[in-house]
Chains A and B, each alone.
Chain A
């Protein structure tokens, strides 16, 4: 065993490992929200000056979170708004599925087959909110959206990898305890290498560092890892003496990819505990906006032409096969850029050219109705199990413990190739795959699953992607151009944030556009005075 402890990890290697744990875009995004953008973290939302009698009309294209945010703020300041939405529903990528809902996936339409019960819902789009997403949380607070804790990391869930432990699932608790034990031992035994760090490192530091390593790994007095009750007991422990579990060997642990990936998932800035989610489904936020809004939201209105006018915009849309045109002073548009690129317009060529270079993100989520909450029999309440198979994750509901049934997340992958594979299947094949792969994590999984939904975001009507994919290069050359208005047209949505894939980006993009409108209105009024 000591072989593995011979050469201490250099700091550079450590940083490299850490960087690998999050994708580079995740790191880029984290930098954005932690203050590298010009919007301060705790910015109060834009407060638009009331129009006081002036008439201003705003057309909002797309009833996504950014469109709803814009409508809410504008309406309060006296602007008259209309939202045009192409699909049959409000909320865009905030999609909570319940009994009877229509899932409009191109080629794979479904009606949600869950039983009709308040606890049986599935967040097929947005699902969690970290505490530093102060923009979306501002609306949760002011619009009265009740929040619950959401868990990304539960020690009682499993990790499963065909390459390790004969493919058997292992409790995250056990894997992490052993891995930390070995790391602690390595740290303690190579602690003198601390003197090679850039900072000064004295005797006292060394002593404290060794204490840290001991606590980190739960080592014995000889700084050796011999197992820990952190891994849970093999037997006893309450009314009879506890028997510790035998640690797994480091080479065995290393055969699993858990230690180079998913084990660090909850370290990612936006995924770290404590997370929150609205009670009853993410669409509670959408409903809360709708309770306040008097702005009409017209469904089944597919925008087909965007014309910039010298003083405003003219928007044409198709409704039941007929074309209608409306004019307005401003237009705020959260239609996904890859779709705007196919809409006739006189938007500047360089502006549209950037939209055409944005990638279409691919994500698949599968939701499964279980007739029994079998995971509770395995001491699992909320959290995520990880597997190296295509399904990647199983999520257990964070709510409604001990109810008769529950909705599991049966697959969720960020790998585009995996999502392509799910997209190529029929809905029945997707469910069969989810069940077959889930069976490696929970034996008899299939016997509990009654029905399910599958959502491939790159195929969802009026979305055709889970979110905009900016390359670092394109972000440098194109982001500011696309963020700036073209005439009186503003492109908004999480696509116009450094945080695509998060509602926070959608909210902030709307605020950004509104601040600009506010400035223009002030200038207009000023010029007249």
Chain B
């Protein structure tokens, strides 16, 4: 099919021009005009994520480590895009995201969560993700501080139910899955996310949070 598609591309030069996406503008359609994330699309904040993590996740999508589960419609959306991108295009997209100007995100407070309980639960997270949720490149653990709370909840659930971290060659995902499984229930997830939400944005890539 790819070949046929290429032939059509060559035949139709205006269509070819249309199909070129300079500077990977696709990213901002879902992830927001400053890559700050968009809850309506369930697309995470990319601005706080370092290059190495973004690259790693592109690979995870292409390897079917993410977006594999039949009912993970949001994961599949990103996977469909990642599958069309080669390494050079991934680098180009990451560079494009890096050029976005910082954006303020409003603070969101979850009043039903127990932050103290969340702090206790976070003890086991901090070995990899850092005391302030700043992440750790050596351990391939992404920064968490500054990420949208709904996205953290969504991903902890995804690890827990096996949408992520469920494949033998995805070793980092598997490790994370074990920790997510140790969170007893939705309340525990809400509590730990509320604690992460309360962390000061120390991570250099974190934009202001008002």
Asked if B9 contacts A459 (CB within 8 A), the reply is: no
Q: Does A519 contact B (CB under 8 A)?
A: no
B14 to chain A, nearest CB (A): 7
Q: Does A295 contact B (CB under 8 A)?
A: no
Asked if A464 contacts B29 (CB within 8 A), the reply is: yes
Asked if A320 contacts B22 (CB within 8 A), the reply is: yes
Asked if B81 contacts A341 (CB within 8 A), the reply is: no
Asked if B5 contacts A461 (CB within 8 A), the reply is: no
Asked if B73 contacts A423 (CB within 8 A), the reply is: yes
Q: Does A110 contact B (CB under 8 A)?
A: yes
Q: Does A120 contact B (CB under 8 A)?
A: no
Asked if A109 contacts B19 (CB within 8 A), the reply is: yes
Q: Does B43 contact A (CB under 8 A)?
A: yes
Q: Does A133 contact B (CB under 8 A)?
A: no
Partner of B29, one of A113, A344, A420, A462: A462
Asked if B1 contacts A464 (CB within 8 A), the reply is: no
Asked if B39 contacts A356 (CB within 8 A), the reply is: yes
Complex interface bits, A318-360 against B, C-beta within 8 A gives 1, otherwise 0: 1011000000000000000111011110000100000110101
Q: Which residue of A lies closest to B84 (CB)?
A: A107
Interface size on A, residues (CB 8 A): 44
The size bracket of the interface on B is 35 or more
Asked if A428 contacts B38 (CB within 8 A), the reply is: no
B4 to chain A, nearest CB (A): 8
Beta-carbon contacts under 8 Å, A177-211 to B: none
Q: Does B40 contact A (CB under 8 A)?
A: yes
Q: Does A104 contact B (CB under 8 A)?
A: yes
Complex interface bits, B85-106 against A, C-beta within 8 A gives 1, otherwise 0: 0000000000010000001001
A320 to B20, CA, bound (A): 11
Q: Does B179 contact A (CB under 8 A)?
A: no
Asked if A428 contacts B18 (CB within 8 A), the reply is: no
Q: Does A302 contact B (CB under 8 A)?
A: yes
Other than the given A111-B15, A321-B22, A424-B76, 14 more pairs (CB < 8 A) read A89-B18, A106-B77, A107-B77, A107-B81, A107-B83, A107-B84, A108-B80, A111-B11, A318-B25, A320-B22, A339-B29, A341-B39, A344-B103, A349-B106
**Which residues of A approach B to under 8 Å, CB–CB?**
86, 88-89, 100-102, 104, 106-111, 113, 302-305, 318, 320-321, 337-339, 341-344, 349, 355-356, 358, 360, 420, 423-424, 426-428, 458-459, 461-462, 464
